[in-house]
A and B are shown apart, each in its own frame.
Chain A
Amino acid sequence: MMMLLNLFLPELVLIFMALVFFFLSFTRPSAGALQLIAIIFAGIALFACWLTYRNSGTLFAGVYQVDGFSQTFKGLIAFGLILIIWMGSGLRGISRAVRPEYFMFLALSCLGLLLMCSAVELLTIILSIELSSYALYILIPMRQHPGRRAPLEAGIKYILFGAVATGITLYGMSYLFGLAHSTYLAEIMKVLPNLLVHQPIAVIGLVMLLCGLFYKLALFPMHFWMPDIYVGAAHETTCFVATLPKIGAAALLIRLISLAGGDSVHLVWVLSIMAVLSMTLGNLSALGQDDIKRLLAYSSIAHAGYIIVGILSMNELGLVSATYYVYGYMLMNVACFYVIYNLSPEGRNICFSDLKGLYKRSPLMAAILTCGSIGLAGIPPMIGFTGKFLIFIAVLQEKYYWLMGFAVVNVCVSAFYYLRLVRAAYSSIEQETPEIRLDVYTFLLGLLIIVSIIAGGIFPQNFIHLTKIAIGSILYLSR
């Protein structure tokens, strides 16, 4: 029992959170109260991650590995959850009747993500991915929207694509199982590096397995769902879909990739082609978008590419920088969604013309949008720059010059549409538009976001140090 508490505390907190919201769904509490409870639980989960940071061990017959690495990622997810709940103050996009359920499924989806960080066995991996996905399948159609069609369409699309991705993942797993005769990563790890060099089927199996994660990351070719789900889901939900599953997927991806042992040329080729296509396709598609959420969707496809670039360099710095990048990506996306959410009180999707004159309506929001978007573009001193910088160093350490070339060209292309966001926010309009009033908590969150984007970019040392230890522990395991 003590063992369970020592290792499983963050997950237990989220399970309890889901239960509490299940019972709350019998009553009709106000959005503010629900939100407060949710933030408190997320805070406790974060605290629990911190408490269990130094513990390590396995649970449930060795399928569940708790170590510094998993706890770091769980902490990131819990922190992200706090930000996202805090951002969606008032839950304006979700109809009153389903608000407690909304938080319940949010907690369950997060629980799935936490499980992903620790899963070290194929079936556990599938279970955790599915737990987080199933909760999201229900979350996405929960939107207060004049036309019910778009959210439902988004929900259905997400389910269908998710099912296909899971199918491919299971198929890949069956190959790996056939080759390694085990579902435990620890066992697979012993034979996989050798197999990857001699058996093409092992590469195919591993890549197919990774497809489930690529789906969460929205990496080419598993990116098709992204734009429609962004547009269809409520802003709060979109912000969640855009950020946290990527952290979970990155955690699992780093664990799986470190299995490959770092010298599989084929795997690197496959991953880098996917990364390049993802960056290029995402950025080029984003250039022509008018809907801000759709733009962010394509941009996040591109960012998945950058993350993969960091991961596929497979050295310590590469994995650390990918982690740092995912964290920065989360902050910058929360910044953008913060603006989208507060700009449309009625929960409608916004486009460039709505951003016009934002500067006059709310200087803070214009500043946040600027920080978020130029951070995503990778301009110093924002966190996005430091992330890209670290990734580029890691890639060049491995001498993947051509990959670097593609990434750099993509940075230039992406700057154009991120700059459009800034320009729209600071362009003037003739007619008077009402000032946007932010309540104190939202205002504070805005300041927090700006500070963390800039300070995180200038002083990355603590974060790098933390993740370096975490990554070091799993690299040590795999070598």
Chain B
Amino acid sequence: MKIMEAYLILNKLNYPILSVVMLVPLAGALLCNLIKDQMALKVMGLIVTLLTAALSLPLYFMFDRTTAKYQFAEVRNWIPALDLNYVVGVDGISVLMVLLTTTLMPLCILCSWNYIRERLAEFIFVLLLMEGAMIGVFISLNTVLFYIFWEGMLIPMYLLIAVWGGPGKDYASIKFFLYTLVGSVFLLLAMIVLYIEGGTFFLPELMNHGFTFVLQMVLFIGCAVAFAIKTPLYPFHTWLPVAHVEAPTAGSVILASVLLKMGCYGFLRLVLPIAPDAALYCAPVMLGLAALSLVFGGFLALAQTDIKRLIAYSSVAHMGFVVLGIFLFSAQGIKGALIEMINHGITTGALFICIGIIYERTGSRDIGKNSGLGMLMPVYVTFLTIFSLSALGFPGTNGFVGEFLILVAAFAKYTLVGVLIIPGVVLSAAYMLRLLQKMIWADSDGHYVLPIHAGDGSYVKLFDVNSRELLMLLLLAVFVFWIGLNPAPLLAVIDCSIENLVITFNTAVHH
């Protein structure tokens, strides 16, 4: 207990804020089994997620930006037989992830408002379960807790794809499940080895343990496989496009915005501090894979005709960017990576919501069938443009900040890596602009001629976004410009933790 407190700043609020933020969605999930009415269910889901978001706000405003210690921490006895405690806490890295999760979840409920009609109670249940588990992953400071939440997301996400997914949901969901499970099992092994060798489950203590190189390699491989699958890094990425295409909009948003971040978060939280020598040793491989993801994902995105698939491959490319930033081991690179993680969460989440909106109207995700929307849905198209520009890293949007930091760090450290990234950046402009051009201006065989055929002899008109959709897009657009024009507040939150991470890393490596 005493040793632990050296790393922690115990929660000074009069309620356990982190546990509350994690438990509110879980409690909400249990409650929604009792409600039968559809409308009441949706409202309740929205209220619970908004409440969670509101409860998580103190984490941002009362966050001590001058320390790298874990804040708002709670320590409770859990399984004394294994000397296992329930320890939660956030530092600069995880607090942003928690906030990202709590901010996006209300949007996930909102974007499914009309789309999900059957099994609504279960849908809300699964979403709230996911939220609790995702927050849990980010706040745990204990390997077992981390693993339990990490795996706890698996079944809800599986169900999200398997029950509410598209026509190929069976294949997609099982592929998602098996890939992730294999990764998780490696992670479990690494965590048990950590316990056997390090004698504790408490993460900050393990970080300063100083394992031998061989052991570090074992741990690195165990963790890196799990995180590379989750990230996903080339060549472990093949589950992602399938899962994205089949998942309902809310599922895609969660998957892209939060779940993919877990892998990168794992690298930052576990791999770099616990196995620094191994990370440095394997850095060329990781950088190579990241650069490959970047270029490969870009080329694949360029070839897609399905909008969702395109965005999915663009995610692979973006996450390659993030991993690259992390494995530069410089403060600038890691900061860039973290900002890029947040950005990708906002931008790609927004893009998936955009796709959901158009899919609800035309029933197709084919670029050819959704072209020429410029004159039919001007507001929608404006937002689509904003988010696409943000995705390609246009100056003034949030995407620029992260990519710029990573690029600068790459050139500062290894010029070759910097040169390798350039094609990736160019490609991202190419595929996003191609998408924009087709969807806004092209006049292909689609519904250029109004109104479009609904299939049963009747005709439907394409409506522009309604107020609910406008609200969602507006909120995300605010974040796009806020981070794009004024990233300083975000950087202030992460500064200390990342400086500390890099310093500890460097001392460990030079030691």
Residues facing A in B145-197 (CB within 8 A) are: 147-148, 151-152, 154-155, 158-159, 162-163, 170, 173-174, 177-178, 181-182, 185, 188-189, 192-193, 195-196
Q: Is the CB of B151 within 8 A of A380?
A: yes
Q: Is the CB of A379 within 8 A of B195?
A: no
The 8 A CB mask of B53-84 against A (1 = contact, 0 = none) is 00000000000000000000000001111100
User: Does B413 make an interface contact (CB < 8 A)?
Assistant: no
Q: Is the CB of A393 within 8 A of B174?
A: no
- Give the residue of B81, B162, B178 whose beta carbon is less than 8 angstroms from that of A426: B162
- Give the residue of B151, B158, B170, B174 whose beta carbon is less than 8 angstroms from that of A385: B151
Q: Is the CB of B78 within 8 A of A412?
A: no
User: Does B290 make an interface contact (CB < 8 A)?
Assistant: no
- Give the residue of B170, B192, B193 whose beta carbon is less than 8 angstroms from that of A423: B170
User: Which residues of A are found within 8 Å of B177, using beta-carbon distances?
Assistant: 415, 419
Q: Nearest residue in B to A405 (C-beta to C-beta)?
A: B189
Q: Is the CB of B181 within 8 A of A396?
A: no
Interface of A, secondary structure class, is helix
Chain B contact residue count (CB 8 A cutoff): 32
Query: Provided the pairs A381-B152, A419-B177 are in contact, do residues A389 and B196 lie with their beta carbons within 8 angstroms?
Result: no
In the assembled complex, the Cα of A412 lies from the Cα of B188 at a distance in Å of 12
In the assembled complex, the Cα of A370 lies from the Cα of B159 at a distance in Å of 11
Q: Is the CB of A464 within 8 A of B79?
A: yes
User: Does A397 make an interface contact (CB < 8 A)?
Assistant: yes
Q: Nearest residue in A to B195 (C-beta to C-beta)?
A: A393
Q: Is the CB of B155 within 8 A of A374?
A: yes
**Which of B155, B163, B170 has the most chain A CB atoms inside 10 A of its CB?**
B155
User: Which residues of B are found within 8 Å of A96, using beta-carbon distances?
Assistant: none
In the assembled complex, the Cα of A322 lies from the Cα of B178 at a distance in Å of 27
User: Which residues of B are found within 8 Å of A422, using beta-carbon distances?
Assistant: 155, 158-159
Tell me, rounded to whole Å, the shortest Cβ–Cβ distance linking B337 to chain A. 28
User: Does A431 make an interface contact (CB < 8 A)?
Assistant: no
Q: Is the CB of A426 within 8 A of B159?
A: yes
Q: How large is the interface on A (under 10, 10 to 19, 20 to 34, 35 or more residues)?
A: 20 to 34
User: Does B468 make an interface contact (CB < 8 A)?
Assistant: no
Tell me, rounded to whole Å, the shortest Cβ–Cβ distance linking B345 to chain A. 25
Q: Is the CB of B185 within 8 A of A419?
A: no
Q: Is the CB of A379 within 8 A of B155?
A: yes
User: Which residues of A are found within 8 Å of B173, using beta-carbon distances?
Assistant: 423
User: Does B12 make an interface contact (CB < 8 A)?
Assistant: no
Q: Is the CB of B81 within 8 A of A468?
A: yes
Q: Is the CB of A392 within 8 A of B188?
A: yes
- Give the residue of B79, B152, B181, B193 whose beta carbon is less than 8 angstroms from that of A415: B181
User: Which residues of B are found within 8 Å of A392, using beta-carbon distances?
Assistant: 188-189, 192
Q: Nearest residue in A to B119 (C-beta to C-beta)?
A: A359
User: Which residues of B are found within 8 Å of A380, using beta-carbon distances?
Assistant: 147-148, 151-152
User: Does B407 make an interface contact (CB < 8 A)?
Assistant: no
Q: Is the CB of A412 within 8 A of B185?
A: yes
User: Which residues of A are found within 8 Å of B81, using beta-carbon distances?
Assistant: 320, 461, 464-465, 468
User: Which residues of A are found within 8 Å of B148, using beta-carbon distances?
Assistant: 380-381, 385
Q: Nearest residue in B to A460 (C-beta to C-beta)?
A: B79
In the assembled complex, the Cα of A359 lies from the Cα of B125 at a distance in Å of 14
Q: Is the CB of B170 within 8 A of A370?
A: no
User: Does A201 make an interface contact (CB < 8 A)?
Assistant: no
User: Does A404 make an interface contact (CB < 8 A)?
Assistant: yes
Q: Is the CB of A389 within 8 A of B144?
A: yes
Q: Is the CB of A408 within 8 A of B174?
A: no
Tell me, rounded to whole Å, the shortest Cβ–Cβ distance linking B27 to chain A. 14
User: Which residues of B are found within 8 Å of A343, using beta-carbon distances?
Assistant: none
User: Which residues of B are found within 8 Å of A404, using beta-carbon distances?
Assistant: 189
In the assembled complex, the Cα of A466 lies from the Cα of B108 at a distance in Å of 44
User: Which residues of B are found within 8 Å of A460, using beta-carbon distances?
Assistant: 79
User: Which residues of B are found within 8 Å of A411, using beta-carbon distances?
Assistant: 185
User: Does A352 make an interface contact (CB < 8 A)?
Assistant: no
User: Which residues of A are found within 8 Å of B188, using beta-carbon distances?
Assistant: 389, 392, 408
The 8 A CB mask of B405-442 against A (1 = contact, 0 = none) is 00000000000000000000000000000000000000
Q: Is the CB of A419 within 8 A of B151?
A: no
The 8 A CB mask of A350-393 against B (1 = contact, 0 = none) is 00000000010001000000100010000111000100011011
16 A-B interface contacts by CB (under 8 A): A320-B81, A359-B122, A363-B122, A381-B148, A385-B148, A390-B82, A392-B188, A393-B196, A397-B196, A422-B158, A423-B173, A426-B159, A461-B81, A464-B81, A465-B81, A468-B81
- B interface residues (Cβ-Cβ under 8 A, vs A): 78-82, 119, 122, 144, 147-148, 151-152, 154-155, 158-159, 162-163, 170, 173-174, 177-178, 181-182, 185, 188-189, 192-193, 195-196
- A interface residues (Cβ-Cβ under 8 A, vs B): 320, 359, 363, 370, 374, 379-381, 385, 389-390, 392-393, 396-397, 404, 408, 411-412, 415-416, 419, 422-423, 426-427, 459-461, 464-465, 468
Smallest CB-CB A-B distances: 6 pairs:
A380-B148, A464-B81, A380-B151, A461-B79, A396-B196, A426-B163
Q: With contacts A396-B192, A415-B181 known, what are 6 further pairs, Cβ within 8 A? A: A380-B152, A392-B188, A393-B195, A393-B196, A422-B158, A461-B79
